Amino acid sequence: MEPKSCDTFVVLPPLTNHGVVFGKNSDRPQNEVQEVVYFPASDTSPNTIQCTYIEVEAGGPKKAVILSKPGWMWGAEMGANECGVAIGNEAVWTKDNEGNHDTSIKRLLGMDLVRLGLERGSTALEALDVITGLLEKYGQGGPCQLDGDLSYHNSFLIADTSEAWILETSGKHWAAVQITSGYRNISNGLTITTKIDKHSDGLIEYAKEKGLWNGDGEFNFAEAFGSSGQVGDSRQKSGEDLLKTLSASKDFKETDMFTILRNTDTDICRSCDSPFPTQGSQVSTLSAFRPSVHWFTATPDPSKSVFKPFVFTPNAVISKHTKCPEDEKSGEHTLYTLHKDSMKDEGNEMQKLLFAMEADCVKELDAIVESVGEDLSELDELLKDCVETEVKFYR
């Protein structure tokens, strides 16, 4: 059975006042721990990079990145880089699953492509080109969970401070749409139809050759490649409705994205007893005029977790408490364990205090980033301080 998992969203001006707002819930197998890790920029790299299953050629200097990722995997479910690019991916299933497009074969995972796009792309378009270039060269596939053989094709939402791109794939073929205003969201089905701004070479000829399109009328990517009764269709529509409602004021903010990601009625937010619970969440406000702010839960179920902020600075440091033990593929990090234990408390007064802390943090940080100059040193340990405050609450 194809799991229902993950939702990614973006809202752009004129529906926001401070840039582009990106958000994602990462729904993963039960008991899989998601860590939040930071990697500084690097001017040097080896000739090859070992991803989850295969090696790829190095791409030169690497951008600083912050990632929310399964502890056992090289790649990331979502993340952001120092240039104001944020990326999230989704599992999708298509009709095209043979030969080079067989997703059971170990190649690049969609999560590997998220990380590679962030490490190498200075803009959303650059990251798109990185991902599609690697996809065409190496292909995609391999088990996407530690214990099991679940595999899939991928779609991506790639955003920066001025635009977003939706990228949807089937094997080595792909189509992409540019978003410059309004809102957009993706779940587990193909959404690109006849409006296609970029695509893989030979896409339409390939669809004809495989009997996916008969050549009549205008080519429709989702109709040609999408599986029948696409998983995620109802959730995608629910997410779109939430975006429409919450952006109507034309002042959509990070807290509105928190609200969407915490929506349990639509299954966008999934509890820990779900087969595929929401294991981590990210919200990013991407701005060209003030520091971009990236909010992570680093714990499951955002309706019972708090978002904590990170800002890229020259000397950024994050807490050890969101990193899984390196010698345990499925080991829990400190914050995950403490949060899990706290959820057993009836009423959970501690959770109410933490939500109040989150609200205060949003207000205080908004004032800081609005007025901060070039010296960002006061934000070096922002995420570290917030995580360690939460740890102290639990202890």
Tens digits of per-residue pLDDT, 88-136?
A: 999 999 999 999 899 999 999 999 999 999 999 999 999 999 999 999 9
Residue 337 CB coordination number (10 Å): 15
pLDDT band of residue 231 (cuts 50, 70, 90) is: low
CA distance 80 to 287: 13
pLDDT at 46: 83
pLDDT of 1 above 60: no
pLDDT of 330 above 70: yes
Average pLDDT value for residue range 300-319: 97
The pair of three-digit structure tokens given for residue 256, joined into one six-digit string? 């509105």
Share of the chain above pLDDT 70, in %: 97
pLDDT at 370: 93
**In whole angstroms, how far apart are CA 141 and each of 108, 157, 330?**
6, 19, 21
The pair of three-digit structure tokens given for residue 4, joined into one six-digit string? 């229902």
Which of these ranges, 220-229, 275-284, 311-320, has the smallest mean pLDDT? 220-229
- Taking Cα atoms as reference points, which of 65, 76, 85 lies closest to residue 19? 85
pLDDT tens across 5-50, in order? Answer: 799 999 999 999 989 999 999 999 988 999 999 999 999 778 899 9
- To the nearest whole number, what is the mean pLDDT of the chain? 94
End-to-end CA distance of the chain: 40
pLDDT at 392: 94
pLDDT of 51 above 70: yes
CA distance 323 to 312: 18
pLDDT at 327: 80
Cβ-defined contacts of 134-139 (< 8 Å, 24+): 134/56, 134/108, 135/108, 135/169, 135/172, 135/174, 136/172, 136/200, 137/56, 138/54, 138/56, 138/107, 138/108, 139/100, 139/101, 139/105, 139/107, 139/108, 139/171, 139/172
pLDDT at 3: 64
Which residues 6+ apart lie within 8 Å of 97 measured at CB? Answer: 103, 171
pLDDT at 232: 60
The pair of three-digit structure tokens given for residue 338, joined into one six-digit string? 């403490």
- Taking Cα atoms as reference points, which of 60, 69, 66 lies closest to residue 42? 60
pLDDT band of residue 296 (cuts 50, 70, 90) is: very high
pLDDT band of residue 346 (cuts 50, 70, 90) is: low
pLDDT at 229: 59
Contact 153, 94 (CB under 8 A): yes
Instruction: Return the active site residues.
Output: 6
- Taking Cα atoms as reference points, which of 352, 356, 351 lies closest to residue 338? 351
Average pLDDT value for residue range 352-358: 93
pLDDT at 384: 98
- Does residue 98 sit in helix, strand or coil? coil
Q: Which residue has the higher pLDDT, 350 or 265?
A: 265
Sign of the alpha-carbon torsion through 122, 124, 130, 134: positive
Average pLDDT value for residue range 158-171: 98
Average pLDDT value for residue range 290-314: 97
- Taking Cα atoms as reference points, which of 47, 83, 89 lies closest to residue 64? 83
Average pLDDT value for residue range 281-303: 97
Contact 138, 54 (CB under 8 A): yes
Q: Which residue has the higher pLDDT, 227 or 303?
A: 303
pLDDT at 233: 80
Whether the upstream peptide bond of residue 14 has omega within 30° of 0, thus cis, is yes
- Taking Cα atoms as reference points, which of 361, 365, 357 lies closest to residue 392? 357
